[in-house]
């Protein structure tokens, strides 16, 4: 047998916190050492946090990141540790540093640099050109980074066919979107089976601005079977024992891989780096005389690995809910806030945001504010108060009627001869925004905005009103999904918090008498599919209409989306849960005459 104990440490770093990230890595190494791990891997750029963006244009940041990598060396005695970091010579690289028994023995430079969606790696890095493998006690290990494993061929196939790699270690920072984990797992199992290699995939976990990383690290055997799987949305240390003889035996039947072992090991494309034996892990063979006598053999006694519970196959709605909780929690925590505040209108969006905030933090850290106007229904105030009571959060009522009347008195001379219209409606939203920002300034609370993706898409919001705030929890959540998430939250063991009436009554901004959203917008059951097709898939009007939607309605929706680009640019960041969120995923000019 050729046993090897593999470990994957999925941790939650903070961009720019080199000291804090270093400490988390050291803690991960020590925990893995206690478990007897031979080869331990950390995620992509874990020491810097990902993505560090223009911090990478600061020489001092780069120097400190490289120095922290070197400072890990004393902690790697007796182990092989692969850690994501940056390195440079005449240019800058996204790298996996291979640290072995106190030495920095080699570096893999990321080959495929993604430059789509939230990624912008060509702005900062040069791609690697060499593809080394590392030999540890006769076991050949290939190391690569994130995008390098997503496509057949490329670095993985080179490392296997030309370098003889039996274990592939992939360091990743793979942003979450709904359903991606299952797609990723299928890809990794395919990559392992196609190459008859053990694949180890370690992913970041936690929130960074609008991005959430879901963890879900995997160890997959050469048959494509999952040996161990990390938790989603939680820090975790995944470990498994593998027998590399199984890989050897499987490859005896594959002519590609038998030939691969005979290729020139000194290939410039796939250089082989031998890892020295860790001498302090050796002891004399039993019966040898003296400490230095006899033949040294590696100590193999290891503690038994704890049995891990089987990975949970998550349904889509609970998965999205957990992603939103993690994204909200980390945005608040990593930016130094202790308390969040949000307006509670009695509607489903603000109710769901309050539930997410409580689940991300604690009830004492959440403040809800009702700001009734003359158009606010008694049912709305009752539902807001009932929600706050059920969640155990602080709750304030600050009416806006008198302030609204003062605004109108002040503006009446200027508005003379003009009918009341959306201007007066927007005044209400802006007064509420002012109230919330005043509370934020006075107490240092973070304002959560409550608008959803359907509203953000078509501009159904008021600049400097309901868009005023620091973080938009539901920015990438369509209204139809809001209702599903609300139902899910009410079904949790803690019991219903959102009043049933909040979920079932017609959605309304209550800015004028008898107002509902559908006075302005199509029903959300029709609007949301059109938005997905246009915003996320870039379908043309005629294509969307060809799928059964009224063409005039589609054109109306598309016009609203296009006109609202200037509003979206001024919205706060929010959590990405779809393949294409507003922000870095979708970059369109404000001044733009194209109509598709």
Instruction: Give the whole-angstrom CA distance, residue 28 versus residue 24.
Output: 6
Q: Give a three-class secondary structure readout of 332-379.
A: HHHCCCCCEEEECCCCHHHHHHHHHHHHHCCHHHEEEEECCCCCCCHH
Q: Give all strands of the β-sheet with 272-275 in edge-to-edge order.
A: 226-229, 218-220, 198-203, 167-172, 139-145, 133-136, 272-275
Q: If you average pLDDT over residues 553-582, what whole number do you get?
A: 93
**pLDDT number for residue 499:** 94
Among candidate residues 53, 63, 110, 362, the one labeled active-site is: 110
**pLDDT number for residue 509:** 76
Q: pLDDT of 198-212, one tens digit each? A: 999 999 999 999 999
Cβ atoms of 37 and 160 closer than 8 Å: no
pLDDT at 295 over 50: no
Structure confidence at residue 88 as a pLDDT band (50, 70, 90): very high
Q: Which of 324, 312, 372 is CA-nearest to residue 347?
A: 372
Among candidate residues 44, 121, 222, 229, the one labeled active-site is: 44
Instruction: Give the whole-angstrom CA distance, residue 315 versus residue 296.
Output: 52
SS3 175: strand
Q: pLDDT of 455-494, one tens digit each? A: 999 999 999 999 999 999 999 999 999 999 999 999 997 7
pLDDT at 341 over 70: yes
Q: What is the mean pLDDT of the chain?
A: 90
Instruction: Give the whole-angstrom CA distance, residue 394 versus residue 385.
Output: 10
Q: pLDDT of 101-126, one tens digit each? A: 999 999 999 999 988 888 889 999 99
Q: Hey, which bits of 89-210 come out as E strands?
A: 92-100, 103-109, 133-136, 139-145, 167-172, 198-203, 205-208
Instruction: Give the whole-angstrom CA distance, residue 401 versus residue 371.
Output: 9
Q: Which of 40, 166, 32 is CA-nearest to residue 99?
A: 40
Instruction: Give the whole-angstrom CA distance, residue 343 versus residue 450.
Output: 8
Q: If you average pLDDT over residues 146-166, what whole number do you get?
A: 91
**pTM of the entire predicted model:** 0.92
| Helix extents (H) in 35-161 | 59-71, 154-161
**pLDDT number for residue 33:** 95
Is residue 110 among the annotated active site residues? Answer: yes
Displacement of CA 508 from its chain's centroid (Å): 32
Q: pLDDT of 488-512, one tens digit each? A: 999 997 778 999 999 999 887 767 7
Q: If you average pLDDT over residues 563-586, what whole number do you get?
A: 92
Q: If you average pLDDT over residues 415-419, what whole number do you get?
A: 91
pLDDT at 292 over 70: no
Displacement of CA 114 from its chain's centroid (Å): 16
pLDDT at 327 over 70: yes
Is residue 229 among the annotated active site residues? Answer: no
Q: If you average pLDDT over residues 247-252, what whole number do you get?
A: 89
Domains along the chain? 3-280 (3.60.110.10), 316-513+564-569 (3.40.50.620)
Q: If you average pLDDT over residues 547-556, what whole number do you get?
A: 95
**pLDDT number for residue 282:** 42
Among candidate residues 121, 146, 147, 576, the one labeled active-site is: 146
Q: If you average pLDDT over residues 20-26, what whole number do you get?
A: 97
Q: If you average pLDDT over residues 261-269, what whole number do you get?
A: 45
Structure confidence at residue 280 as a pLDDT band (50, 70, 90): very low
Is residue 146 among the annotated active site residues? Answer: yes
**pLDDT number for residue 269:** 59
pLDDT at 171 over 80: yes
SS3 237: strand
């Amino acid at each position: 047998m050729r046993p090897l104990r593999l470990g994957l440490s999925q941790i939650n770093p903070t961009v720019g916190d080199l000291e804090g990230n270093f400490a988390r890595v050291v803690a991960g190494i020590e925990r893995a050492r206690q478990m007897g791990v031979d080869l331990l891997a950390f995620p992509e750029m874990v020491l810097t946090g990902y993505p560090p963006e223009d911090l990478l244009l600061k020489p001092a940041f780069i120097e400190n990141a490289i120095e922290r990598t070197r400072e890990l060396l004393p902690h790697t005695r007796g182990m092989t540790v692969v850690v994501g970091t940056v390195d440079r010579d005449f240019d800058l690289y996204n790298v996996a540093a291979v640290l072995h028994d106190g030495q920095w023995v080699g570096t893999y430079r990321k080959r495929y640099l993604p430059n789509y969606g939230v990624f912008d790696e060509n702005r900062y890095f040069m791609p690697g050109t060499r593809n080394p493998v590392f030999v540890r006690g006769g076991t050949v290990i290939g190391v690569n980074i994130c995008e390098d494993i997503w496509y057949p061929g490329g670095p993985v196939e080179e490392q296997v066919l030309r370098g003889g790699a039996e274990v592939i270690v992939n360091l990743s920072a793979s942003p979450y979107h709904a359903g991606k984990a299952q797609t990723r797992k299928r890809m990794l199992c395919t990559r392992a089976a196609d190459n008859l290699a053990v694949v180890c995939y370690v992913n970041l976990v936690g929130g960074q601005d609008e991005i959430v990383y879901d963890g879900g690290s995997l160890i997959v055997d050469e048959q494509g079977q999952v040996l161990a799987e990390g938790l989603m949305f939680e820090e975790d240390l995944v470990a498994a024992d593998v027998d590399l003889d199984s890989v050897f035996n499987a490859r005896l039947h594959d002519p590609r891989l038998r030939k691969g072992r005979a290729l020139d090991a000194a290939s410039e494309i796939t250089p082989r780096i031998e890892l020295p034996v860790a001498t302090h892990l050796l002891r004399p063979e039993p019966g040898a005389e003296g400490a230095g006598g006899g033949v040294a053999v590696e100590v193999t006694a290891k503690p038994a690995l704890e049995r891990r519970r089987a990975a949970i196959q998550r349904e889509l709605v609970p998965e999205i809910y957990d992603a939103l909780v993690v994204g909200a929690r980390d945005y608040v925590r990593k930016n130094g806030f202790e308390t969040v505040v949000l307006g509670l209108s009695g509607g489903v969006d603000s109710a769901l945001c309050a539930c997410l905030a409580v689940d991300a933090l604690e009830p004492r850290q959440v403040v809800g504010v009702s700001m009734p106007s003359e158009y606010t229904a008694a049912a709305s105030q009752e539902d807001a108060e009932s929600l706050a009571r059920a969640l155990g959060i602080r709750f304030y009522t600050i009416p806006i009627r008198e302030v609204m009347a003062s605004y109108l008195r002040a503006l009446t001379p200027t508005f003379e001869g003009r009918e009341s219209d959306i201007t007066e409606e927007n005044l209400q939203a802006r007064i509420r925004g002012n109230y919330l920002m005043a509370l934020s300034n006075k107490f240092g609370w973070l304002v959560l905005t409550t608008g959803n993706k359907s509203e953000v898409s078509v501009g159904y919001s008021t600049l400097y009103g309901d868009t005023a705030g620091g973080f938009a929890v539901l920015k990438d959540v369509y209204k139809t999904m809001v209702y599903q998430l609300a139902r899910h939250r009410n079904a949790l063991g803690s019991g219903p918090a959102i009043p049933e009436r909040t979920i079932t009554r017609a959605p309304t901004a209550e800015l004028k008498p008898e107002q509902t959203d559908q006075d302005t917008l199509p029903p959300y059951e029709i609007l949301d599919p059109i938005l997905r097709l246009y915003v996320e898939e870039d379908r043309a009007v005629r294509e969307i209409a060809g799928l059964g939607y009224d063409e005039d309605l589609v054109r109306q929706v598309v016009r609203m989306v296009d006109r609202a680009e200037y509003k979206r640019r001024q919205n706060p960041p929010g959590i990405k849960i779809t393949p294409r969120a507003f922000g870095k995923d979708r970059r369109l000019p404000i001044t733009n005459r194209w109509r598709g």
